Structure 1
Amino acid sequence: MGKLEKALLSHQKALEIQKHVLPPNHPDLAITYDNIGTVNRKMGNYPTALSFQQLALQINEKVLPSNHPDLALNYNNIATTYKSMGNQLEALSFLQKTRQIEEMILPSDSSTLAATYDNIGGIYQDMNQYENAAFFYEKALEINEKVLHSNHPELSITYSNIGNLTFYIFLVTSSRFRRQVKYLLLKKCWLPIKCYCCKSNRNAIHPMVTISDASGIELVS
């Protein structure tokens, strides 16, 4: 039996006991439901995960204030499951609920809030809504540059998200890029792409694109 299976079995045993000794709307039941949902999600059992996460949410929406941090966590966990299922619209809906609570109860420079902005940006990028994605990535970056050390991994992730988005927009939507590609395929030249990858100079030309042959392009760090 693997670690996830053992974890699931332990949570299920806890749930059996709690159902006998706790009232049906007890917050501890919500925690256990959410734990079972999380383990099932990590095991790839998304419908089962979602059903337990929704049970947790039903309890917390009844017994907790509407701006309670546990509700924000419930919404975030459900969003993660929907994203894993490929349902970006539902994921975005629940992430926005998480954001609304966190913006009410957390400091404006909270790293938790930055992570939520990053997640929302990722959903918008998956939905090809690039302006919205850039807006939330920039909000995450603004916080992370204030509160994180300059070489913190989370800051690196935010820079990468913005860099990838900027390059992808340029690659997919720029008619100028398409015209340049046709020219460079013949000339075997370098094509600089401006992006946000470099913290020291956001307008630095990095990465670069070289046309290796007529079959496509190659990213060069």
Structure 2
Amino acid sequence: MLFKGIILEINEDVTQSVHNLVDHYRSKGISESQLTVVQRQCHQKSRIWWYTDEIFLYGVLDRALRLFDIEPVIKLSFSIRHQHRQLEQLYSEQSHAYRRKFKVYRGQGLSKQKFQQLTDTKGGLLSFNNFLSTSKGKHVATKVVKRVLHKHTDILGVLFIITIDPKKISAKTTLFTRHTDFRVTDMKHPSRNSRLWEMKLMLTGDKDSQLVVLSRRMKEEIDDKGWKTTNDSDPAHIYHQLGWLKNEQGQYQQAAAFYEKSLEAHRKTLPESDPSLAPTLNNIGLCDYYMADYSTALQFYEKELNLIQKSLLQNHLNFAASYSCISDIHNKIGDFSKVLEFYEKSFKIRENSLSPNHPDLSTSYNNIGQVYDNMGNYVKALELCKKRYGN
């Protein structure tokens, strides 16, 4: 849902995007005949046609959306945006033709682990990463799921029975935009086949109370962690968001790569000394820290420190955070004298800027105390431990 918002913000030239896409997949071994079709007909066919046609784009995009593989999603983001807009247009044009609720069907194979996760959502909300292609004929979806079960003996089959609000779009084959939200109403075995299940879904709307609360809460939590709330569609902003997402997934190498792209995009319009680059430098350093590349992390932390030194007063709390990051690096390296030096710098700023009972001061006492403990100065370590607990 939130990632969908990021993709829809991107605003790139379609012709250039197609050129980049073709170059990328030529290196991946896609046949020249398919690439030529994409280049010559990219403006002649609708994006929905591209997604449903039996060409490599469908398989690449569907897999990337399901697995949340960001690189191909970015390469195809122009197509995702156009598909989404065309579905919105179709909804606007066709919704008046449907007055009563109706059902559509989708057959799909799932691993046992994915199926277990699915059963846990009963009564709750369910969202699919990919565009969801369905049929108005139950027999079509049933054939699909039975064919999958016959081909793969280690998976389970699910026949999704989706009830649609009359205001939603429809056609003989219904294609939902990605991250459409459904409520899971029921699930059961339709036959004696223990590997085949039916799951009933109800298409939700923007007024679903649980969905509204969930969306608001997610955005609040993300804003607290540094999500950029600007509506800018510039590449620097988009890459920052993607870096944040990959960092949250624990995929630090990819996160660092997106943060570096954000930094590169910023540098096209900002001077090297601009202090607004500091948070991105810190983010890259943190990714390197998580990957145990401490020398590289230290370089980025020091670059961040140099920037904020040019724009902030020496007692600003941002300095305390920067000093703490550098201390953590030296602690990993085992240079305890440097650890102590920067932890004490951090502590002095916090001591002068925060109330005596602020939890950050307790953290500083603990950090410095641990350094003295590592250095064998147990008397000093005990003294700081007592200060931490107010003794």
Q: Is the TM-score greater than 0.5? A: yes
Q: For residue 305 of structure 2, what is the amino acid of its counterpart? A: R
Of 190, 197, 208, the match for 2:385: 197
Instruction: Check whether the contact 1:67–1:105 (CA below 8 A) recurs between aligned residues.
Output: no
How does the TM-score come out when normalised to structure 1?
0.71
Q: Cα gap change, 1:170/1:7 in structure 2, threshold over 3 Å: closer, same or farther?
A: farther
2:2 pairs with 1:7: yes
Aligned residues: percent identity?
28
Going from structure 1 to structure 2, the CA distance change for 1:133 and 1:27 (only over 3 Å counts) comes to farther
1:124 to 330, 334, 340: 330
Query: Which ranges of structure 2 fall in alignment gaps of 5 or more residues?
Result: 15-231
Q: Please list the CA deviations of residues 122-157 of structure 1 after superposition, one character each: whole Å capped at 9, or x if unmatched.
A: 111111011111111010011000000111121121
Q: Is the 8 A contact 1:27 1:59 kept in 2?
A: no
State whether structure 2 residue 276 is matched by structure 1 residue 70. yes
Name the structure 1 match of 2:239.
Answer: 33
- Paired letter, 1:197: C
| 2:306 corresponds to which of 100, 112, 123 | 100
One-letter identity of the residue aligned with 1:19 = E
Amino acid at match of 2:380: K
Paired letter, 2:386 = C
What is the distance in 1 between the residues matched to 2:330 and 2:4? 36
Of residues 255, 268, 273, the one that matches 1:49 is 255
Cα gap change, 1:108 to 1:19, in 2 (>3 Å): same
Could you say if the C-alpha distance between residues 126 and 51 of structure 1 is closer, same or farther in structure 2, counting changes exceeding 3 Å?
Answer: same
Write the letter of the residue equivalent to 1:170: G
**SS at structure 1 position matched to 2:3:** helix
Alignment equivalent of 2:12, drawn from 16, 19, 33: 19
Cα deviation digits, residues 178-199 of structure 1 (max 9, x gap): xxxxxxxxxxxxxx64313333
Q: Per-residue deviation at 1:200?
A: 8.1
User: How many residue pairs are counted as aligned between the two chains?
Assistant: 172
Matched, 1:163 2:369: yes
1:42 Cα deviation from its structure 2 partner: 1.2
Residue by residue over 1:85-142, the C-alpha shift from the partner in whole angstroms, topping out at 9 and shown as x without a partner, is 1111111110000000111111111011111101111111111011111111010011
Matched, 1:151 2:357: yes
Other-structure match for 1:89: 295
Q: How much is the aligned-residue C-alpha RMSD, in angstroms?
A: 2.4
1-structure distance, mates of 2:7, 2:386: 47
Alpha-carbon distance, 1:71 to partner? 0.9
Asked if structure 2 preserves the Cα contact closer than 8 Å seen for 1:8 and 1:40, the reply is no
Following superposition, the deviation at residue 27 of structure 1 comes to 8.4
User: Contact 2:362/2:388 (CA < 8 Å) preserved in 1?
Assistant: no
**Alpha-carbon deviation of 1:41?**
0.9
Native 8 Å contact 2:326 2:342 kept in 1: yes
Is 2:320 the counterpart of 1:114? Answer: yes
Aligned residues of 1:134 and 1:165 also touching (Cα < 8 A)? yes
Return the TM-score normalized by structure 2: 0.41
